[in-house]
Structure 1
Amino acid sequence: MSDQKIAAIFAGATPLNALKEPTEVIRQFTPNWFAATMGTGILSLSLAQFPWPVPGLQAIAEGLWMFNILLFVLFSMIYLARWIMYFDEAKRVFGHSTVSMFFGTIPMGMATIINGLLVFGLPRWGASVVPIAEVLWWLDVAMALLCGVCIPYMMFTRQEHRIDQMTAVWLLPVVAAEVAAVSGGLLAPHIADVHTQLYVVITSYVLWAYSVPIALSILVILLLRMALHKLPHESMAASSWLALGPIGTGSLGMLVIGGDAPAIFAANNMAMLGNIAQGVGFVSGILFWGCGLWWMLLAAMITIRYCRNGAIPFNLGWWGFTFPLGVYTVTTLKLATLIDIAFFKVFGAVLVIALALMWSLVAVKTIRGAWRGTLFVSPCISGLKK
């Protein structure tokens, strides 16, 4: 980024001038910020799989992944500080019908870091990163399982929801489990012990089933809501892309887990089952990819309509434009390696470019909003006195 562009981002503002005091950064910090780690992480993984060699692209991808680690650590420290310094206010998030959904972004952001350990860490540091990735993966699994059941329980018992106010944000806590399933499928073949490989694969299948059917049921309700009550407020415009996330991830999970299933099941005396898993995974992956194509085209049309009706106000929800598109992009690139059809390679490359452009736009707006302090707003306490 040139000096002129950097200057333009910070022009006309002093640091955090929208906040009463700097500690408001901690007090107003919400899980929504972890959506930025999801978008940044998936872009790094997409760039690493670009179907044609581009000088310097791998270095950019690895640099983004390392930057994403710093972001995740920084956000984790700030959010932990909020729970320590403002516990009574922080716990109000569980009763908020929208912000609470973003707890799912924490394990999903971590999953992109784990996947990066396998994509970038293995070539750089060797097999020593595998035990680290395995420990982080089990932690990610635990968080995904908790989000997937605890947040819906809060919806049923403590929060207020209406069908006309529903958006695809409902998907966020549920989808975390299938994202962890993809990471498990990537991790399993790198583990030395064959029994542990089997445990990871079986756990990944359970995580997929723990998430995908629930996500699909939410999408059915979402279709009904959209037909009856039309589009949500323009502030939730990016949520139209969230539906692409569980479908793209569901497809990728079946392709990744099924791809290594024959070797792993054969090593555990279940060779026939492994071949079945590979076939089912491939066919399921294609079917989910086709469904995702419909949702992507619909989301694009909805976004165009929002833009024609006026400017879409920026908020952290704009990161919803990135991760769903990113997982669908990675799925397309995965299909390009499995099927000798040029379309998937070309279409995957186009999606990578589109993802990079969208990430750049959202990242610039996020940096500007963070610098000015306008993005540090917690809806859970916005009506409270300090």
Structure 2
Amino acid sequence: MEKKVIKNFSPSWFAVVMSTGIIPIDLCLAKSSVPFYSTLAKIFFVLSTLVFVALFIPWIIRFFTNMDEIKKDLRHPVLGSFFPTVAIATLILAIDFLRIGESFLGKELALKIALILFVIGTIGVFLFGFIILPLTYISDNINLQHANFGWFIPPVSHLIIAVVGLDLVPHYKNTVLGNNIFIISLIGAGIGMFLYLFVGAIVYHRYIYHEMPMPKLASTFFIGMSPTAILTIILVKLVAASKFVSYNINVGAISSVSKVLGIAFWGFSIWWFIISLIVLVHHIKSKQLPYALSWWAFIFPIGALGVSTGAINKLVHFKYFIYFLNGIDIVLLAMWLFIGIKTIKGIVNGTVFEAH
């Protein structure tokens, strides 16, 4: 059984950490209106850290004992895109340490850990990007029917670099380190944005002109809202971070642009969220929604939408944003519990470790 677990350990497992780790960020944004969210955020912070460690052990063992399976997955037209989830999970944990870690470790230690996680996660994102995308380009076995919104994971991974980096900049204001983090963040944002545009066109074409992907990939449709939600967050954080770098940036101009584009990007994410719900209802009605590990893809995009809502509210102070954020938090907690129970059952009966 142990050998089976390692051999078939899916690269998408770290979507569990991504989905668990984004919840405390959402909860912190709404804790002013729901006080117990502060305690709940700490619980999810600890849980996401423990889950990361628990998953990293078999993940790293697989690299040393089943390299042939690793190579096979890297070349897989669907699974290959999920490898960056380990790097994204690392970056999400960095945000968690910045937001909540000081409650357990003190501000200075939490900041150091967040910086280390940022460096490791950033290296991981670029490394997997330089491996997966060239493999995709040279492959003769990929066709349009393989396209799905899971392909958005590499673009999202680069965008997350900017979210974490711009969060770190104010802690290292007007220093060489802070300036370097700022530049790296903008590079990540640029790569992620253009990859999103390129990949989005391909995937959208597939959904229009071909049949939808297999039912167990239905959850990946929700990933479509993630890039614009994260771009909204980046724009908001860019306003704050620009005050703390040595590049003579016009913060007022950035603030004005961020308000306009932020609302536009957020609006697309909301629109896509509604489209995703309509598609989800279609799958439920047709009874074509079997449980799969990919179900965790339901949660992270909705969490990103929640964070973007709280972020844009800091710029425009639209009272309905906070109501929407509270609603998203309830949905997130309910879905996390439901999918978590399903996953535990899958672990117990071994179905999540079947060959993929």
Specify the TM-score bucket, using the shorter chain as the normaliser. over 0.9
Checking the alignment, whether the CA contact within 8 Å between 2:81 and 2:132 is kept in structure 1 is yes
Among 47, 57, 62, the alignment partner of 1:82 is 62
- Distance in 2 separating the partners of 1:142 and 1:79: 17
Aligned residue among 146, 155, 171 for 2:127: 146
Correspondent of 2:168 among 187, 205, 209: 187
1:127 is matched with which residue: 92, 108, 122? 108
Segment of structure 1 superposing worse, 151-160 or 234-243: 151-160
Does the CA contact (< 8 Å) of 2:154 and 2:192 recur in 1? no
Aligned to 1:56: 36
Q: Report if the CA contact (8 A) 2:90-2:120 is conserved.
A: no
Give 1:84 deviation, angstroms. Answer: 1.8
Cα distance in 2, alignment partners of residues 277 and 285 from structure 1: 11
Paired position in structure 1 for 2:290: 313
Aligned partners of 1:185 and 1:256 also within 8 Å: yes
1:140-163 CA distances to partner (integer Å, 9 max, x unpaired)?
111111223321111111362111
Match of 2:7 among 23, 27, 31: 27
Q: Is 2:232–2:312's contact at 8 Å kept on the other side of the alignment?
A: no
* Structure 1 residue 271 displacement after superposition: 4.5
Question: Which AA in structure 2 matches 1:347?
Answer: F
* Equivalent residue, structure 2, for 1:104: 84
Equivalent of 1:248 in 229, 240, 243: 229
Are residue 270 (structure 1) and residue 248 (structure 2) matched? yes
What is the CA RMSD across the aligned residues, in angstroms? 1.7
Distance 1:156 1:311 in 2: 32
Q: Is the 8 A contact 2:165 2:185 kept in 1?
A: yes
In structure 2, C-alpha distance between the alignment counterparts of 1:195 and 1:156, rounded to whole Å: 37
Instruction: Report the alpha carbon displacement of residue 325 of structure 1 after superposing the two structures with TM.
Output: 0.8
Q: Distance in 2 between matches of 1:206 and 1:89?
A: 32
Of residues 349, 357, 362 in structure 1, which corresponds to 2:334? 357
- Number of residue pairs the alignment of both structures matches: 355
- 2:18 is aligned with 1:38: yes
Inter-CA distance 162–269: structure 2 relative to 1 (3 Å threshold)? closer
Match of 1:78, SS? helix
Mapped partners of 2:198, 2:64: distance in 1:
37
User: Mean Cα displacement is larger for which, 347-356 or 82-91?
Assistant: 82-91
Match of 1:232 in 2: 213
Identity of aligned residues (%): 24
Residue 373 of structure 1: CA displacement? 0.8
In structure 1, stretches of 5+ residues that fail to align are 1-20, 380-386
From the superposition, tell whether residues 192 and 142 of structure 1 become closer, same or farther in structure 2 (CA, over 3 Å). Answer: same
In the TM superposition, what is the alpha-carbon distance from 1:315 to its structure 2 partner? 0.4
Rounded Cα–Cα distance in structure 2 between residues aligned with 1:67 and 1:76? 14
**Match of 1:282, as an amino acid?**
K
2:52 & 2:78 partners in 1: Cα distance? 21
User: 1:259/1:282 Cα in 2 relative to 1: closer, same or farther (>3 Å)?
Assistant: farther
Letter in 2 for 1:107: A
The match for 1:207 is 188
The alpha carbon displacement at 1:311 in A equals 4.4
Paired amino acid for 1:254: L
Distance 1:82 1:139, change over 3 A: same
CA deviations 1:234-266 (Å, max 9, x no partner) are 1211011011111111111111122331x213x
Task: Provide the C-alpha distance between the structure 1 equivalents of 2:119 and 2:355, rounded to a whole number of angstroms.
Answer: 30
5+ unaligned residues in a row in structure 2: which ranges? none
Deviation per CA, 1:32-63: give whole Å up to 9, x if none: 11010000001121112215443432122111
Cα deviation, residue 22, structure 1: 2.9
1:216 aligns with 2:197: yes
Aligned mates of 2:261, 2:138 — CA distance in 1: 35
What secondary structure sits across from 1:96 in the alignment?
Answer: coil
Alpha-carbon distance, 1:297 to partner: 1.1
Alpha-carbon shift at residue 69 of structure 1 (Å): 1.0
**Cα distance between partner residues in 2 of 1:182 and 1:76:** 23
Note the alpha carbon deviations across 1:4-41, whole angstroms, 9 max, x for none. xxxxxxxxxxxxxxxxx233111211211101000000
Change (3 A) 1:344 1:51: farther
Larger RCO: 1 or 2 (CA < 8 Å, sep 6+): 1
Take 1:269 and 1:235, find their aligned partners in 2: how far apart are those partners?
A: 48
Matches within 5 A, 1:268-347: 268=246, 270-272=248-250, 274-347=251-324
**1:51/1:333 contact within 8 Å kept:** no
Which structure: greater helix fraction? 2
Query: Aligned AA for 2:312?
Result: L
The alignment partner of 2:213 has SS state of coil
